Structure 1
Amino acid sequence: MKIVIAPDSFKESLSAKAVCECIERGFKVVFPDAEYHHLPLADGGEGTVEALTQGRKARLMRTEVSDPIGKKVWANWALLDNDKTALIEIAAASGLALLAPEDRNPNITSSYGTGELIRTALDQGVTKILLGLGGSATNDAGAGIVQALGGKLLSHTGTELQVGASALTHLAKIDLSQQHPRCSEVEFIVACDVSNPLTGQRGASHVFGRQKGASSEMINALDAAIHHFAQLSIPILGTDHRHTPGFGAAGGTPLGLSLLFDITIKPGIDMILDELNADHIMQDASLMITGEGRMDTQTLQGKTPFGVALRANQKGIPVIAIAGSLGKELDPLYTHFNGLFASVRAPQSLDSALSEAEVNITSSARNVAAMLKLGAVINK
């Protein structure tokens, strides 16, 4: 029996790799002779570098860059495929987790540091860049990336704009004549787990601005600023991206990227599964096991377990999920999952649940395996 274990991390408690180990440990008590394959995953946000470097020849890199408010930080990224592919998370240089709550201000936060990482990768000679967009602190529509890679955002007086979204209200001209010369030479894949457009009520500012520190008064101004940036981008791109699905991710970062690169946007989990050759790993599998910290209807919005379930469904492989906790209204999930299990054993505080995650997941996996074995006996 071949069992593929393919979870996301359980945020604030266990990495995806650790979750794999817990599930195997629990299952092995019941099925000691099964063939286990670990496929620790992420959906394009935090943990993407770790997931894609597991079991692969990768060179982990560390570069000093600007954080979202311009302070110097060390950001981790990776080189794969004999240094021809760069793997970058926007969260590493431009992430919300880098800022204290009082420093979160999307008027001034910038994606410039992510641009510095991309510039470093281009200087290394890569021919492919994979960029995960989860966890950003910015709402500048990728303007900082443009500036870091040599593009000039100019005011009516011809002066270069400061970084940050609010500065875009003064934008009069986009000058890409001095952009990095290798921008046109690389394949650029953007991992994105949202379908929101760039602007409007479902856009970057209105949907995600508040979690990045925007007040109600700021949100309309932020939306207007990136709306203006998008309008001035139309003559360069030949396309109006204000309503393009996915362009609202990471504060509108795909807009700035599209000015420099021929980008392909993929759901984060699909990019991860493709890069890890998951379809090959899943061949002849008897069972897929996935999971994340909490599963509810939001799981169906491009989260890791849903991506795994879709692949399993296409191949006719049963798939079950073990989560830290389960939300309400789970019926839509049962269309894709053969079973859903919560690992928390009893009512307890969040701190207790997080600290006991390893024990709880191992125990839950053992119980699931026992029920599967019992079902096989009953059906003989």
Structure 2
Amino acid sequence: MKFVFAPDSFKGTLSSEQQIALLKQAAEEIFPGAETVGVPIADGGEGTIRAVYGTAGGRLKCCQVTDPLGETIEAEYLILDNDSVLIEMAQASGITLIPYKSGNAGKTTSYGTGELIKDALKNGYQNITVSIGGSATNDGGAGMLAALGVKFYDRNGKSFIPVGETLQEIERIDSSNLMSEVKKTSFCVMCDVTNPLLGSRGATYVFGPQKGADEKQLERLETGMRHYAALIEKICGYEVSKCSGAGAAGGMGAALLAFCNARLQSGIRTILKMVDFEAIIADADLILTGEGRIDGQSACGKVLDGIGFYAKKQNLPVLALAGSMGEGAETVYACGIDSIMTTQNRPMELEEALEQAEDLYRDAAKRMFRILRAGIAVKK
């Protein structure tokens, strides 16, 4: 019997790798001698590079870049082959790189992500995949564009690098010095949200609060983003602000669409293709996946949706282990997930569940395998 373990991380508690180790222990106890294969999974945010590197290999390239608040840090991107690289925005411009603080949403920059892209371009890579989950920014990708040579000028003709709270100060954008390599390069963006750039479902109002924007700041950030959108649309010649995914990563989606002619596609399906997941599960008997909380959003292009897509192609059963279930969790059944089990084994506060995450997960994994063993016995 072969089990494939492909869980997403439980944010703040258990990594994908930790869960795989616990699942292997539980499987060995309940199904001694069973073959187990672990596939670390990320959804395009923090940990994406490590997840792909752990399964597909490649070579890591380290660079000095600018973090979201302007400090110099080290970040890396993954060289997949002679022509292709994977860049993770969270490495340079991620929300986990800085402490949460009210007001940060207006002050953070995506410049460091641009520096990673610039390094890849200068080294001749012409197929660049950028995962843009987990960002700390709301600058519309302006920082990234500045790193690639785009110039921003204020009303006094002075050039500057805009952040979220200064987007409205842009008077003119000059893209004539955008790196020539950009036009020769194919850009793929791993993006699991469909939000437009502006409005109630846009970058600012949906994601700004997670990055430290209060109600007063949200209004200013939206005003700046609207002004910025009008300027970049004059350059690219279409209403990029209305494109699906333009609002991802604080507007990074819009910048990559408008200036890099990028194509946006599902983050999880891109990762699963990179690691050749279809081949991994070809002779499997069961897939076990999961995430911290399963709800209606889990069926919208996220990890469970991607796993289920490949499982259905090969008619494989899939079980999901989650920290909790929310409204609409049952929608994942249509995606190819057969059943869900939660790690909580009694009523408890969130703080207690987080503190005991490893023990709760281990116990739930054993319960799940025991149920599976009983199901096999019933068939006989």
**Which TM-score applies when normalising by structure 1?**
0.93
Q: Given residue 269 of structure 2, which amino acid in structure 1 is its aligned partner?
A: D
Q: What secondary structure, in the 3-state scheme, does the structure 2 residue paired with 1:78 have?
A: strand
Q: Which residue of 2 aligns with 1:295?
A: 294
Q: Given residue 29 of structure 1, which amino acid in structure 2 is its aligned partner?
A: E
| In 2: Cα distance, 1:65 partner to 1:284 partner | 43
| In 2: Cα distance, 1:202 partner to 1:79 partner | 35
Q: Which residue of 1 aligns with 2:178?
A: 179
Per mean C-alpha deviation after superposition, the further-off stretch among 31-40 and 174-183 is 31-40
Q: Given residue 300 of structure 2, which amino acid in structure 1 is its aligned partner?
A: Q
Residue 14 of structure 2 is aligned to residue 14 of structure 1: yes
Q: Which residue of 1 aligns with 2:159?
A: 160
Matches within 5 A, 1:215-234: 215-234=214-233
Matches within 5 A, 1:345-364: 345-364=345-364
**Which TM-score applies when normalising by structure 2?**
0.93
Q: What secondary structure, in the 3-state scheme, does the structure 2 residue paired with 1:209 have?
A: helix
| Mapped contact 1:166–1:225 kept (Cα < 8 A) | yes
| In 2: Cα distance, 1:328 partner to 1:105 partner | 31
Please, which runs of 5 or more residues in structure 1 have no aligned partner? Answer: none
| Mapped contact 1:66–1:93 kept (Cα < 8 A) | yes
| In 2: Cα distance, 1:94 partner to 1:269 partner | 20
Q: Which residue of 1 aligns with 2:197?
A: 198
Q: What secondary structure, in the 3-state scheme, does the structure 1 residue paired with 2:177 have?
A: coil
Please, which runs of 5 or more residues in structure 2 have no aligned partner? Answer: none
Residue 309 of structure 2 is aligned to residue 310 of structure 1: yes
| In 2: Cα distance, 1:274 partner to 1:124 partner | 24
Return the structure number with greater relative CO, CA threshold 8 A, min gap 6: 1
Q: Which residue of 2 aligns with 1:3?
A: 3
Cα RMSD for the two superposed structures: 2.0
| Mapped contact 2:39–2:55 kept (Cα < 8 A) | no
Q: Which residue of 1 aligns with 2:147?
A: 148
Q: What secondary structure, in the 3-state scheme, does the structure 1 residue paired with 2:271 have?
A: helix
Cα distance change of structure 1 residues 340 and 8 upon mapping to structure 2, 3 Å threshold? same
Q: Given residue 189 of structure 1, which amino acid in structure 2 is its aligned partner?
A: C
Q: How far is the alpha carbon of 1:69 from its aligned partner? A: 1.9
Q: How far is the alpha carbon of 1:255 from its aligned partner? A: 1.8
| Mapped contact 1:10–1:324 kept (Cα < 8 A) | yes
Q: Given residue 169 of structure 1, which amino acid in structure 2 is its aligned partner?
A: Q
Matches within 5 A, 1:85-104: 85-102=84-101, 104=103
Number of aligned residues = 379
Q: What secondary structure, in the 3-state scheme, does the structure 1 residue paired with 2:242 have?
A: coil
Q: Which residue of 2 aligns with 1:330?
A: 329
Q: How far is the alpha carbon of 1:39 from its aligned partner? A: 1.3
Q: Given residue 346 of structure 1, which amino acid in structure 2 is its aligned partner?
A: R
| Mapped contact 2:164–2:221 kept (Cα < 8 A) | yes
Q: How far is the alpha carbon of 1:351 from its aligned partner? A: 4.8
Q: Which runs of 4+ in 1 moved over 6 A?
A: none
Q: Which residue of 1 aligns with 2:57?
A: 57
Q: How far is the alpha carbon of 1:113 from its aligned partner? A: 1.2
| In 2: Cα distance, 1:118 partner to 1:169 partner | 26
